[in-house]
Amino acid sequence: MYLGRVLGRAVCTVKDSQLEGLKLIIVTKIDGNGNAKGRPFIACDSTGAGNGETVFLCGGGEAAFPFVKRRPPSDASILGIIDQIES
Domains of the chain, by residue range, sit at 2-82
Comparing 40 with 66, the larger pLDDT belongs to 40
Which candidate, 68, 69, 59, 51, places its Cα nearest to that of 10? 51
pLDDT digits (tens, 9 = 90+) for 47-68: 899 999 999 998 766 655 665 5
Residue 4 confidence (pLDDT) above 90: yes
Q: What is the pLDDT of residue 49?
A: 93
| Domain covering 2-82 in this structure, CATH number | 2.40.50.220
Confidence class for position 24, pLDDT limits 50, 70, 90: very high
**% of residues, the chain, pLDDT over 70:** 83
